[in-house]
Homo-oligomer: A and B are copies of this chain.
Amino acid sequence: MRELCISGGTILTMDQAGTVIPDGMLCIEDGRITYCGPRHAADAPPREGCEELDARGGLIMPGLINGHTHAAMTLLRGMADDLPLEKWLTEHIFPAETKLTGEAVYWGTMLACAEMIRNGVTSFCDMYLFERQTAKAADAAGLRAMVGEVIYDFPSPSYGELENGFAVTRELIAGYASHPRIKAAVMPHALYTCSPSLLERAGRLAGETGADLHIHLAETREETAQVVSRYGKRPLDHLESLGLLNRALVAAHAVDLTPDEVARLARAGARVAHCPESNMKLASGVAPLMTMLEAGVKVGLGTDGCASNNDLDLLGEMDSCAKLHKASALDPTAAPAETVAALATRLGGEAFGRLDLGILAEGMLADVIVIDIDQPHLTPMYNPYSHLVYAARGADVIHTVCHGKVLMADRKLKTMDLAEVMAKAREQAARLNGRAS
């Protein structure tokens, strides 16, 4: 059954060849694209009863892929900024997180899903507490998600003792094994919060289950110093010695890496979630993006959590990404628009672990967004990649489709009651903050 037809706009396929189809049409059945081409060349008109989305005056492109976030941290957005990292964490974020509950995470994630759908993000990779609730919220919102309960040496506000953390992880991986949109991964927090034995065990679990292993890695020079002082090895060496440098690895941040370490990441087939805005805001440093891409590392783009960004707008993240690397390299040709757009789509799909994601073509997953380019700040249009990266923002997305289902049409959310989500999130935030929000 043909489920959905999107027609009339310019299709930016984001395939390797850079194919752009003016006045295009997309047909979708059972969550996959069955036709992607010029409207006039479609073999048949949309069948009766087929849902239609009008994309005239728009840019049709793959839904954006958020490679690393902590969705429920929407509840902590703006609670504390502009502070030294240690003070920010110990005096603000951690105390608030001790008050987290499954309910808070559910509503915080729903709020994040609302924001992501409005910003054209259709997939997100999430590491946080009470992740069963994250999965539930992502499922209810209709988004694609890779979820993982964060595990570390100390007792968790969510699962308590470490043993339970592994149990929750196993349960999530098994429970979502055949879900069309949700998958789970093994998510140890970081090298400085997880013992070698925890990490080895996490690595074995990923190996046994075929799940990804997602971890914060080489985020700052301070992390490197800490790992070196504790284990006598730099982060990547330590990780490798524990058997974790392999195809299952997704490294979030990957800032403090030498060119040799980048080459080894590439050879291992490991992936990276690059989070430029978080790295800027927390003053973590600048990840070697161009070196990673040249070495063939699969790099996706992540917003990180809302406490360190402070938004879930991947279009804005692309802009920051392109500009940061130019500024950092003092080279205006660094991180060109088309490359950066690929981080959030084609390359982001590979980093997310799916080769059928992030490109519009027959057979690919039907995660699609439409950007309204009939607006002053997107007029005239010489080059769609330029507008996408340097001028478009989340608010320009008008339709969002995930797995063939319309999650937003004409800026109206279809899978949730936004007023309810915002009210519940405010309630939870007031509780976490210990005062009215």
Contact = CB atoms under 8 A, between A and B. Distances in A.
A334 B283 contact: yes
B280 A323 contact: yes
A316 B395 CA distance: 13
Contact of A78 (B118, B279, B320, B390): B390
Interface in A374-390: 374, 376-377, 379-383, 386-387, 390
A28 interface: no
Contacts of A335: 82
B333 A286 contact: no
A390 B327 contact: no
Copies in the complex: 2
A377 B437 contact: no
Interface in A287-335: 306, 309-313, 316, 319-320, 322-324, 326-335
Contacts of A430: 380
A277 interface: yes
B329 A283 contact: yes
* Chain A interface size range: 35 or more
B379 A283 contact: no
Contacts of A160: none
A175 B401 CA distance: 54
Interface string A131-165: 00000000000000000000000000000000000
Contacts of A115: 376-377
A184 interface: no
B333 A84 contact: yes
A113 to B, nearest CB: 9
A85 interface: yes
Contacts of A306: 391
Interface in A66-125: 74-75, 77-79, 81-85, 88, 111, 114-115, 118-119
Contact of A332 (B77, B282, B383): B282
Interface in A320-354: 320, 322-324, 326-337
Interface string A34-50: 00000000000000000
A263 interface: no
Contacts of A286: 327
Given A78-B383, A82-B332, 6 more contacts: A77-B380, A77-B390, A79-B382, A285-B327, A310-B391, A393-B394
